[in-house]
Amino acid sequence: MRAFLFLLSLLVFAPSAVAARTILVLGDSLSAGYGIRPQQAWPSLLAERLADERPDYSVANLSISGETTAGGRSRLTAALAEHRPAVVILALGANDGLRGLPLQQMENNLEAMIAAAKKAGARVLLAGMRLPPNYGPYADQFYRRFGAIAKAEKTAYLPFLLEPLASRPDLFQADGLHPTAAAQPLLLDHVWPALRPLLK
């Protein structure tokens, strides 16, 4: 009888034991798959890789084209409550920079999101961004903020999300800003080494 009850308990509790933990991606058009099919975007490719290599994790991609750090901050509390992620990838800031928004405002928003994610028990990967050189000194200050935030908050850091595409104009759409479908596997391969240590 004891053996039967033990086996029964395994059947009852097994589903929760193997339930996939969530990786929440909070980004802008670069992660939402602007101009391509959503299933071609790197977060969708990440979900496919996880299904093969780490089936104990799933992906919730809440990226929205045009999103700023302020927009992401306003949505994060609800997202954390709904998805209860084990890992949060913050890939926001590009639109703040392109609009020339105050860098202190961006920094405050990112720090608040990191703090909220950590308080919810999630590990955080911060993805940085660069601006075109014609933005002058602002572009350098913008880029440096990401590294400073990651260091201060002691969080995992990917300095430049689009690094593998920087010298490949053929991997961008006609607007010169958004990666093509062909670029998405390269983005995934770039994100993966920074993300993998967080998959505990």
Active site residues: 29, 175, 178
Task: Write the DSSP symbol of residue 163.
Answer: G
For residue 192 the two structure tokens come to: 């993966």
**Which residue's structure tokens are 């104990």?**
56
Q: What is the CA radius of gyration of the chain?
A: 19
Nearest CA to 24 out of 149, 152, 151, 114 is that of 114
Q: Which residues are CB-neighbours of 171 under 8 A, at least 6 positions away?
A: 165, 179, 180, 182, 183, 186
Residue 28: burial class (beta carbons within 10 Å; 0-12, 13-18, 19+): buried
Task: Write the DSSP symbol of residue 35.
Answer: T
